[in-house]
């Protein structure tokens, strides 16, 4: 119970702390009290939230649109041979061909065999990008504090993660209109919050 209370307190401080050195010091104190499990959980929650617009847009695509974006005009070559006859001497962008293709894919387990895999691949990609981003943030945070009291890896990653609490829902909402672009906006916002708060951390 104590762990979850510390977590929610840290989330609140991370989301609603601005240019206030006392609250920044309290945030860093709470980060040190928060267990590693809660840090991992927060990372996953942020990643899920950031990934939602991407998954939403993929799920909305018709089978024909998804395959054409993945493989280009010759995407039918990546399909089972039983479907190739649909494209013989036919325009693959003909409305009847598209409709028949979509129906065929739905009947052959498109959701389970194709869409589910595409969503998993998208999530794994976002996790990799997220991991690289936070590690880079920790590295550059260390460089920026070379002449000040250094932060431990745990403090740095905690500061980056809990500084993401407010930017991620805003970026996710924006991503419903411009998916992928919202990820860049999210990273710019997080970097701004992290380095602003780093300057107000105790001892520099």
Domain range list for the chain: 2-200
pLDDT band at 83 (very low <50, low <70, confident <90, very high): low
**pLDDT for residue 142 is more than 80:** yes
Q: What is the mean pLDDT of the chain?
A: 84
Q: Quote the percentage of the chain above a pLDDT of 70.
A: 84
Q: Is the pLDDT of residue 74 over 70?
A: no
pLDDT band with cut points at 50, 70 and 90 for residue 40: very high
**Which runs of consecutive H residues, i.e. helices, occur in the chain?**
2-16, 21-33, 36-60, 63-71, 95-107, 110, 116-144, 153-162, 167-175, 181-200
Question: pLDDT at residue 126 above 90?
Answer: yes
Q: Are 27 and 21 in contact (CB under 8 A)?
A: no
Confidence band, pLDDT 50/70/90 cuts, at residue 201: confident
How far, in Å, CA of 161 to CA of 163, rounded?
Answer: 5
**What integer pLDDT is reported at residue 1 of this predicted model?**
58
């Amino acid at each position: 119970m104590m762990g979850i209370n510390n977590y929610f307190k840290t989330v609140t401080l991370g989301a609603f702390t601005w240019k206030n050195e006392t609250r920044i010091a309290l945030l860093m104190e709470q980060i040190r009290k928060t267990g590693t499990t809660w840090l991992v959980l927060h990372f996953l929650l942020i990643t899920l939230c950031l990934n939602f617009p991407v998954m939403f847009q993929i799920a909305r695509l018709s089978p024909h649109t998804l395959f054409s974006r993945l493989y280009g005009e010759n995407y039918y070559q990546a399909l089972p041979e039983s479907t190739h006859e649909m494209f013989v001497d036919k325009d693959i962008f003909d409305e009847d061909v598209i409709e028949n293709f979509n129906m065929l894919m739905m009947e052959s387990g498109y959701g389970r065999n194709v869409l589910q895999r595409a969503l998993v691949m998208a999530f794994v990609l976002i996790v990799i990008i997220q991991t690289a981003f936070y590690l880079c943030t920790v590295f550059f945070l260390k460089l920026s504090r070379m002449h000040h009291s250094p932060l431990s890896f745990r403090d740095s990653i905690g500061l980056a993660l809990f500084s993401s609490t407010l930017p991620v829902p805003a970026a996710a909402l924006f991503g419903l209109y411009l998916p992928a672009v919202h990820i860049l906006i999210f990273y710019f916002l997080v970097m701004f919050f992290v380095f602003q708060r780093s300057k107000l951390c105790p001892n520099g």
